[in-house]
Amino acid sequence: DVKVTQSSRYLVKRTGEKVFLECVQDMDHENMFWYRQDPGLGLRLIYFSYDVKMKEKGDIPEGYSVSREKKERFSLILESASTNQTSMYLCASSLWGGGLFFGSGTQLSVL
Amino acid sequence: AQKVTQAQTEISVVEKEDVTLDCVYETRDTTYYLFWYKQPPSGELVFLIRRNSFDEQNEISGRYSWNFQKSTSSFNFTITASQVVDSAVYFCALSEFDTSYDKVIFGPGTSLSVIP
């Protein structure tokens, strides 16, 4: 079975903290993605990676960075968390053209 | 530019009714993929179907069916004999062929409530 695992389901952080969201996939997919989902704004792409150590900005990369040191792991980093980064974060992976497979999401609250 | 429109924001139906969720897309490419995803209250996005632009055959999977019409740029999703477990937000999505990655554009979603 296809499996994308996000390390935390719920996370509460303080403003200014450095936050790491981890995502691991076991399907040997080349592509990995980070989206955020907000009411009324839908799903917005933050960053994606199509190979190890490769990364590309999505539609809303400001305030975020990513790391992909191994094929199966894609991390999203909030260098200095702010309240407007409170959101549901969704990780996904894909084989080209095969559709995205999502993790269960991390609901991040920044206080 | 690519775009996905789901004009129905919210739909409510009574259990056992049929319901169709509309999806209209825009793309300049002749080769692309279309998808439907389901997001139940638990939050996880579940992949339902992929269709490539060369395959206009309709597809049926149990109570689910999809109607793809290139002439109208639509990829509609019908649930027959709806059940309470079908209550979820449904997203239509598009991915163009000429990218080296799967950059997927999602529609805004349609929230379906099935009332017992």
CB A103 within 8 A of CB B44: yes
pLDDT per residue as tens, chain B (116 positions): 779 999 999 999 999 999 999 999 999 888 888 999 999 988 889 999 989 888 888 888 899 999 999 999 999 999 999 999 999 999 999 987 665 556 788 999 999 999 99
* Of A71, A73, A69, A82, nearest in space to A108 by CA: A82
State residue B9's pLDDT score.
95
Q: Which H or E run includes A13?
A: strand A10-13
Chain B hits for A3, CB-CB cut-off 8 Å, are: none
Percent pLDDT > 70 in chain A is 95
Q: What is the mean pLDDT of chain A?
A: 92
Which one of B46, B101, B106 has the shortest CB-CB distance to A42? B106
Bridge partner residues of B5 (DSSP)? B24
Name the DSSP class of B85: G
What is the arithmetic mean of pLDDT over A62-84?
96
B100/A99 touch (CB, cutoff 8 Å), yes or no? no
Chain B hits for A104, CB-CB cut-off 8 Å, are: 42-44
CB B34 within 8 A of CB A83: no
A84-106: per-residue pLDDT in tens? 999 999 999 987 767 889 999 99
State residue B30's pLDDT score.
85
Q: Residue B10 and residue B87: Cα distance in Å, rounded?
A: 11
CB A26 within 8 A of CB A79: no
A102/B44 touch (CB, cutoff 8 Å), yes or no? yes
B103/A105 touch (CB, cutoff 8 Å), yes or no? no
A26-51: per-residue pLDDT in tens? 989 989 999 999 988 889 999 999 88
B47/A102 touch (CB, cutoff 8 Å), yes or no? yes
A92 touching chain B per CB within 8 A = yes
Kindly write down the DSSP assignment for every residue of A41-80, as one continuous string: TEEEEEEEESSTT--EE-S--TTEEEEEEETTEEEEEESS
State residue B99's pLDDT score.
59
Token pair 């609250």 is found at: A109
State residue B56's pLDDT score.
84
